[in-house]
Chain A
C-alpha cells in the first residue's frame, strides 16, 4: 500500500477531481501531461538550475543544539525560510511556471491568503515575463498590506475577492472562476496540495525536493537517511507534503502534522481540520473540510493566515484517516510562545505558521537519540506586526 496518489489522483478515499465540466479540459490537459513534462531531462535541468541559482537550494539542514538540549532529543531544522521570497512556496511556483510555459500558456492566475504564495507567483512571473493576476480576499488585502505591495512591485495585478467571507477560500473560488472564463491561454498556479487532481500530486512532487535533500543531508550528518520523525505545520499542507514525500512509504519514519487550533479546537474559532472536518468536496477535491451539517463550508480561524483554510490536502486527509500520520493541534498562544522561543534560543524568527510546528515539543516527548526533523517552512518577517502586537514589543 502506498500513501502517494494513484493515477486517478486518489489518496485512499480522498482526492479526485470534482469539477464542473467547464474546468475539465484544463485539468485534463494538465493531468495528461504533468508527469511526462516533469520527467523530461530539459525540464528537470532548468528546474534544478533555478532551484539552485535563483531559489538558493539546497537549503541547509541545521542541527538546533540549544533546542535539542532543552527537549532532550536531536532536533534538525530544514531551513526553507532561507529560500528566495522567504518560504518553501517558491519551489512550487518555479515548477509550475515552467510547466505553464511547456503547455504554451501566456497568462498566470493564483490565489493567496497571507500573500506568500501570491508573492512567490508574482516573483516567477516577473522572472519569466509572464502576465500575472493574483486573487486575494478583500479582508486579507487589508491586513497583509506589505505583501500586496510586494506583488504590485513585482508587476502582478492583485484582484480583490469580494464574495463570501472575502478570505482565502473565496480568493480560490475567484481564481477558479477566472480559469473557467479563460480556459485556453491561462494556467492556474495553485499554492498548496489542494484542488482537483492533478494539483495535489503535482504540487507535492515540486515540493518533494525538501525531503530529497533531507535524505542526503541526514546521511552526511547522522550516517542515516531516515529520521525518526518529520514534523510540519499543515494548512493546505504543501510544506508538509514536501518534507513527508520521500518518507510516506517508509513506515519507520513517523509523520507528525501540526494544525492550527486557533483559540482552541472547540472555541468556534479554529482551523484544526482533521479534528473538526468531515468528508466533503472543496475546490474540486474530496477531502476533510470544516462545514455545517448542511454541507455549507465554514470559515476557519487562526492567528496565522497561512493555516486559515477550511480544508486540508487529500494526502493529509488520508494520512490522518489511515493513522499513518499523527495529527496535533496547537493554539494561537502556544504557537506564539514557541515562535518567541525559537527566536531566542536559535536566533531564527519563524513565520507564525511554522511556529505551530515548534510548539509540539511541550506535548510530544521524544527519545534522547531520536532524530526529529522540523520543516522550518518560512521566515517571520511578514508576521512582525502580529508578533509586535502580541508581545507588545
Chain B
C-alpha cells in the first residue's frame, strides 16, 4: 500500500513539513529529510524549485531562487534522493510547478519517482481536467498519488468533484493567499474549516498555507486530519541552519 494512504489511516493528527530542495545548501536535501523523520514528522513535501513560483509568498520564492543559484536541478534532486529509502520510511511527496516536470518528461519523471520511492506529487498548476485527461494513467502506472488543492473560494460542487477524483488526501489551502505565515486564523477561516468538515468528504483533508506554530497547527487540525508547514520551517532553516530541526518540530506539537 502507498505510504501516504497508510499514514492517513493512523489515528492521530498528521504534521507534514515542506522544504525547498537545495536550500540552504545544495547538499542539505537528504540531511533535512533524515532530521525531519527523526524529529517525528509524519510526511515530507520536497519542494522542486522553480524560477517563477506564482503561488508562493516571498519566503518560498527566495528559497527557490537560492536553491537554483546553488545549482539544484531535477536530475540532481533525483540523484540526491536515489538511496533515500535506505534511510527513511515516512511518506515522501515532491511538490513543484508543472513546467520542470513537463520538461523532464511526465512519464520519465513519474518512473524515476517510483524507482526512488516517492509516494506522491503535488503540482498546483497542473489543472484537474488536464490531469484526468492526459496524466492520470501515467501517475497510476507508477503508483503515485496526485493531490489537488481546494481554497475558501472553491464551490461545494467542485470540492465534491475533486473529492471523487482524489485518492489520498485533499490539500486544503487555508485562506485566499499565497504561501507564508499570517497572524492566525480568523472567523472566516473557521467558517471555511467548518463548511469543509460538514461536507463529510471521503478523502481526509490536510491544511496548508499560514500554519507556522503550535497554535495555528492546533487550530488547523481541530477538524482536519493534518496540517502542512512550509514557509515557517524555511525561515527556521534560514535563521538557524539544519542543526535545530528537532527543536522546531517539538515546538509545533
Q: B-contacting residues of A (Cβ < 8 Å)?
A: 16-22, 24-25, 163-164, 169-170, 173, 176-177, 180-184, 278-284, 291, 293-298
**Residues B74 and A20 in contact, CB atoms below 8 Å apart:** no
Q: Which residue of A lies closest to B130 (CB)?
A: A16
**Residues B127 and A17 in contact, CB atoms below 8 Å apart:** yes
Evaluate whether A24 and B55 lie within 8 angstroms (CB atoms) in the complex, with A18-B98, A294-B73 already known: no
Q: How far is the CA of A184 from the CA of B176 in the complex (A)?
A: 9
Which residues from chain B contact A298 at a C-beta distance below 8 Å? 51
Q: What are 26 residue pairs bridging A and B, where the CB atoms are less than 8 Å apart in the complex?
A: A16-B130, A18-B127, A20-B149, A21-B128, A21-B149, A22-B55, A22-B151, A22-B176, A24-B127, A24-B153, A25-B155, A164-B52, A177-B57, A181-B176, A278-B103, A280-B99, A280-B103, A281-B98, A282-B52, A291-B99, A294-B103, A295-B99, A295-B100, A295-B104, A297-B51, A298-B51
How many B residues, CB 8 Å from partner? 42
Evaluate whether A281 and B99 lie within 8 angstroms (CB atoms) in the complex, with A163-B61, A296-B51 already known: yes
**Residues A21 and B124 in contact, CB atoms below 8 Å apart:** yes
Give chain A nearest CB distance to B180 CB in angstroms: 10
- Which residue in B51, B61, B73, B176 is a CB contact (below 8 Å) of A180? B176
Q: Which residue of B lies closest to A296 (CB)?
A: B51
Q: Beyond A173-B52, A181-B177: 4 further Cβ-contacts under 8 Å?
A: A18-B126, A21-B151, A177-B54, A177-B178
**Residues B54 and A176 in contact, CB atoms below 8 Å apart:** yes
- Which residue in A24, A181, A278, A293 is a CB contact (below 8 Å) of B178? A181
Give chain B nearest CB distance to A82 CB in angstroms: 36
Q: Which of A24, A170, A183 counts the most chain B CB atoms within 10 A? A: A24
Give chain A nearest CB distance to B114 CB in angstroms: 20
Give chain B nearest CB distance to A292 CB in angstroms: 8
**Residues B176 and A183 in contact, CB atoms below 8 Å apart:** yes
Which residues from chain A contact B98 at a C-beta distance below 8 Å? 18, 281
Q: How far is the CA of A296 from the CA of B50 in the complex (A)?
A: 6
Q: Which residue of B lies closest to A173 (CB)?
A: B54
Evaluate whether A280 and B127 lie within 8 angstroms (CB atoms) in the complex, with A25-B153, A182-B176 already known: no
**Residues B154 and A21 in contact, CB atoms below 8 Å apart:** yes
* Chain B, range 126-143, C-beta contacts under 8 Å to A: 126-128, 130
Q: Is there a chain A Cβ closer than 8 Å to B148's Cβ?
A: yes
Evaluate whether A281 and B149 lie within 8 angstroms (CB atoms) in the complex, with A18-B126, A163-B58 already known: no
Q: How far is the CA of A177 from the CA of B30 in the complex (A)?
A: 31
Q: How far is the CA of A170 from the CA of B55 in the complex (A)?
A: 13
Evaluate whether A296 and B100 lie within 8 angstroms (CB atoms) in the complex, with A20-B149, A180-B178, A181-B176 already known: yes
Q: How far is the CA of A121 from the CA of B66 in the complex (A)?
A: 34
Q: How far is the CA of A389 from the CA of B236 in the complex (A)?
A: 48
